[in-house]
Structure formats: C-alpha cells, structure tokens
Amino acid sequence: MLEVCNVSKDYGPFHAVRDLSFTAAAGEIVGFLGPNGAGKTTTMRLITGYLPPTRGEVKVDGLVVRTNALEAKRRIGYLPEVPPVYPELTVNEYLNFCARLRRVPSRQRQDAVARACQRTALNDVRHRVIGHLSKGFRQRVGIAQAILHEPQLLVLDEPTAGLDPRQILETRQLIRELAGQHTVIISTHILSEAAATCERVVIINRGALVAVDSPENLTHRLKSTDTIELQVRGPQPAITALLGAIEGVLKAEFSHLRQEVGTWQLEVANAGVREEVARRIVGSGWGLLELRPIDLSLEEIFLSLTANQPEGQVEAPPPAADAEKGVQL
Ligand SMILES: Nc1ncnc2c1ncn2[C@@H]1O[C@H](COP(=O)(O)OP(=O)(O)OP(=O)(O)O)[C@@H](O)[C@H]1O
Ligand SMILES: [Mg+2]
C-alpha cells in the first residue's frame, strides 16, 4: 500500500532524511518512532506529497506521489502535527468545507461528514465552534477531516501529543478501529505509544533508518536471555541459594524485601525454566506470590539502538547530477 523507496530530503546543506526505505501493507498500523528532530514530520510530508523528496520516491497504492500527486493525495488522509482547523467555524461547517476541498460530490457530503463524526465520536459537538473545544476534541476534528474522503492511507503526525491520559486511550482506540479499513502510519517519540497501537515500528534517528520490526522482535533481537521477576515469602539466603542452583538459571539476584516478601530478578536461558523455578519454590514450602517475565521496554530498545549514533548535524554531499528534481527550500 505504501512504499518509501530510498527517500532523502535535504534542507540546504542539512540532511533531514537520509536514504529511508520501508513499506506498509494494507490495513497495517505502522509506528514511526524517533526523538525530536529525527525527521518524522519531514518524512510524513514527503509521504503525503506536501514536500518533494530530494532523492528517492514514495508510492501510494502503486502511484508515485511526486508525479501523480492529485491521484495519490485522493488516497491519503493527513493529520499534520498542528491540526489544520479553523477555530471560528463549527465542526459541521469545517468538515463540510474540508469535504468540498476533498471534492466529495455535494450529494454525498452530508453523509461523509456524518460518518466521519460518528467514527470520531464528534456527534455531540457538531454544532459547536472549534475554538471552544478542548484540545482532545480539536484533535478528533483533525482526524475526522483526514478520514472524510475514505482514504486508503492515513498519516497521523503525533496524534496523541498534548492529550490527557483518558483522551490518549480514546484516541489509541480510535486509531485501532481505523486500521483494517485504512493503512495507518502514526509518528510518535513516545515509545510505549507505538507498543500499544502498532504491529510494526520504524525507528529513525537523525534522519536515517535504525530498525524496522515488531516491538516483540526488537526485544528478542537485542536480548538472548530472558529476565523474570519473582516474589517469594520465605528465608532470603536459602531462596537465593536454591534459585542459583536451578539448571538454566544464569543469574539470581535478590532485589529487596517489602512486608516480608522478597523480590528476586533471574536471568534464565529460556522461558521453559520458569516452570521449574515455580515447582521448586512451591515444593520447598515457600509462598510464591508472583513470577513474571520482564521484557525490554521500547525505551531501552530505542536507547540501545541509537547509542552509537554520532552527535551533531550531518552535512549533505554536493547534489548528484540526477538528484535535484524536487523543489528546494
Ligand atoms: N523547513 C525546514 N528548513 C530547514 N530545516 C528543517 C525544516 N524543517 C525541518 N527541519 C529540520 O529537519 C530536522 C527534522 O525535523 P522534523 O520536524 O522532521 O523532525 P521530527 O522528527 O518531526 O521532530 P519532532 O519530534 O520535534 O516533531 C530537524 O533538525 C529540523 O530542524
Ligand atoms: Mg514532528
């Protein structure tokens, strides 16, 4: 559905995006992760045709965005970093206006607006002025304008930025519902956000691709052993000794004691060791209160993947003869 092929974007001498390639299949939710300034917004502008790439191509549904801009844009809904809403219009007026811009035929416009409001839970505020709405509702209006024309690809730039926890959960739920009917690309620098919503994450740093994978595979790629946390009521030295003697336990470390319950962290060779640990603790007559695997958080994955990247901006090389076809900023 989406193909980003060796795309680069230079702002003058500065490489904002460098030779980036990834794809998104129909109905997939892909998280686009990177720290501030990594090039997420720039890449989204390249995907949506708002900026031409300096090198490379973006294809949406097989159409090259640069050369088939109008046709490609019909297939794309875009929520920019700052939702493009007019504060003095009501939700209804604004969405009707967007539907006209999107060339939704006049007979279908009311239905399209009603459907978008339904899907983004905006029905109760349809007649309110956008400037009087909370940030979360304004964000939903931004998502509603992006889905009005039923695009195949939805590009959402930090859709939950600045929302309160309840609105974040609601927006994530909405995004999950939209996937399936749409391919969704969401950018974020909050890694748990991607883990909560996305099947696959594309990690970029300083404009370059760092990794593309599912959150689970990224964890396994970086870690050959499993870590488990254990809470047991019983004598600490004896428990530590027993844990250390179990085959497959590579390391058993006592962490802390709280209300007579000790916590241990174990490094184990494989997940199967967990069963034996549980059996031995219970068999010794101690109280096993908790035994859970600890995954690497996406924060740790991200820090580990970007640890060796050099600091500072990267100067662009002199333009190649065939490269500078796009508009320069
Ligand atoms: N129009 C522009 N002219 C020059 N440099 C730009 C321009 N737009 C972005 N940049 C630079 O390109 C780099 C990538 O910016 P971009 O906005 O794509 O990052 P981002 O990943 O979206 O960051 P954030 O998480 O803060 O939104 C930054 O160093 C930024 O300063
Ligand atoms: Mg951005």
Indicate if the alpha-carbon torsion angle 99, 104, 105, 110 is positive or negative.
negative
Task: Write the single-letter amino acid at 30.
Answer: V
Atom 8, ligand 1: which residue's CA is nearest? 42
List, in sequence order, every residue forming a beta bridge with 17; answer none if it has no partner: 9
Task: Tell me the per-residue pLDDT of 96-138, one tens digit each, with 9 for 90 and over.
Answer: 999 999 889 999 999 999 999 998 889 999 999 999 998 889 9
Task: Tell me the per-residue pLDDT of 189-232, one tens digit each, with 9 for 90 and over.
Answer: 777 778 788 889 999 988 999 889 887 777 666 666 778 899 99
- Percentage with pLDDT > 90 across the chain: 56
Contact 19, 6 (CB under 8 A): yes
Among residues 317, 296, 238, which one has the least CA distance to residue 18?
Answer: 317
Q: Which domains does the chain have, with CATH numbers?
A: 2-75+151-220+302-306 (3.40.50.300), 224-295 (3.30.70.3190)
Mean pLDDT of the chain: 86
| Alpha carbon distances (Å) from 91 to 58, 94, 102, 118, 311 | 32, 5, 16, 12, 44
Tokens 């090039």 belong to 39
> Residue range 172-201: average pLDDT?
85
Mutation choice for ligand 1 from 14, 20, 78, CB with most ligand atoms inside 8 A: 14
Q: pTM for this structure?
A: 0.78
Centre a 10 Å sphere on the Cβ of residue 217 and count the other Cβ atoms it contains. 13
Atom 12, ligand 1: which residue's CA is nearest? 16
Q: Which two tokens stand for residue 59?
A: 């294809």
Describe the strand order of the beta sheet including 14-24 as a list of residue ranges: 14-24, 2-11, 55-60, 63-64
Pairing label, strands 76-79, 153-157:
parallel
Atom 30, ligand 1: which residue's CA is nearest? 37
Atom of ligand 1 lying closest to residue 17 CA: 14
Query: What residues are in contact with ligand 1 under a 6 Å CB criterion?
Result: 11, 14, 16, 34, 36-42, 189, 329
Pairing label, strands 76-79, 226-233:
unpaired
**Length of the chain counted residue by residue:** 329
CA separation for the pair 122, 133 (Å, rounded) = 11
pLDDT at residue 297 is higher than 60: yes
- 233 phi/psi in degrees, rounded to 5: -95, 120
Contact 202, 31 (CB under 8 A): yes
Among residues 235, 271, 32, which one has the least CA distance to residue 153?
Answer: 32
Q: What is the pLDDT of residue 317?
A: 41
Q: How many angstroms is it from 42 CA to the middle of ligand 2?
A: 7
Task: Tell me the per-residue pLDDT of 27-37, one tens digit each, with 9 for 90 and over.
Answer: 899 999 888 88
Q: How many angstroms is it from 40 CA to the middle of ligand 2?
A: 5
Which listed ligand is nearest to 51 at the C-alpha? Answer: 1
Those residues with Cβ within 8 angstroms of residue 186's Cβ, 6 or more apart along the chain or in another chain: 29, 30, 31, 32, 156, 157, 158, 159, 175, 193, 194, 197, 198
Atom 18, ligand 1: which residue's CA is nearest? 39
Q: What is the pLDDT of residue 325?
A: 34
Atom 25, ligand 1: which residue's CA is nearest? 36
Q: Which of 39-43, 113-117, 311-315 has the lowest mean pLDDT?
A: 311-315
Element (H, E) at 322: none
Q: How many angstroms is it from 228 CA to the middle of ligand 1?
A: 40
CA 72 to chain centre: 23
User: What is the residue-wise DSSP string for 112-147?
Assistant: HHHHHHHHTT-GGGTTSBGGGS-HHHHHHHHHHHHH
pLDDT band at 329 (very low <50, low <70, confident <90, very high): very low
Atom 9, ligand 1: which residue's CA is nearest? 42
Q: How many angstroms is it from 166 CA to the middle of ligand 1?
A: 29
Q: How many angstroms is it from 69 CA to the middle of ligand 2?
A: 22
Which listed ligand is nearest to 312 at the C-alpha? Answer: 1
List, in sequence order, every residue forming a beta bridge with 293; answer none if it has no partner: 228
pLDDT at residue 186 is higher than 80: yes
